[in-house]
Structure 1
Amino acid sequence: MEVLAGRVLLHPADPERSWRFYRDVLGLAVYREFSGGIVFFLGGGFLEVSGEGARDAGTPNLDLWLQVRDLAAEHERLAAAQATILREPRREPWGLLEMWVSDPDGVRLVLVEVPEDHPLRRDTRPT
């Protein structure tokens, strides 16, 4: 799999308290704010603090966000490899194509394809 970008998703019990901590206490720079969350710069990656941590016991309140070039191809490849697919690929209301996969420990991986017309599209290499 060729990963183009990554983002750690943290779902805290008290989002506003966590936003203040990461923004005001740690002093992380804000990359993007949206209804329900803030994405912070985190070195060469990003940390998104959004939603609330209300998962089943034993499942970490953590998702790993991985941008891929071709979500349909990754879906086919991972299904053939008998990966645990939690949710089939679909277009989200915010315009991204997403599929959810579980790692062996139950951490959810959010595989994302950024469509050509989406504002996050940043690949400037010639095709």
Structure 2
Amino acid sequence: MNIISSAVSLTVADPAASSRFFASHLGFREILAGERFIALGRDDVAVDLVLTERDPERWQPGQGLADAVVVFTVTDLAAEYERLRREGATITIPLRREPWGELMMQLTDPNGVAIQLTEWISPITS
């Protein structure tokens, strides 16, 4: 098997709102759009995002959809955290350091999609 690309597909109520969020706060750009979906990409990310509109006739709350967190590893997370805070992004987990060597934060887009930003750092030793 030879995987040549990858994507995370998120089913949301309003793909355009998520697209604006990922473009304005995280630097993605629209690479393809259709009647009920928008595909986003970045030149420096190996994973594209596909935002698909939820079909209310087929979707039942609590059935068939798993919670998802989109995770991006970044550099200089402290600066990114400050930028996102200034821009008014919805930060659901403030910047924190985990003992195993992860600096992380989490924000949420207008459709409730959780995005975790991570920077790997030295673990806390006692």
TM-score range relative to shorter protein:
0.3 to 0.5
TM-score of the aligned structures, taking structure 1 as reference length: 0.44
TM-score of the aligned structures, taking structure 2 as reference length: 0.44
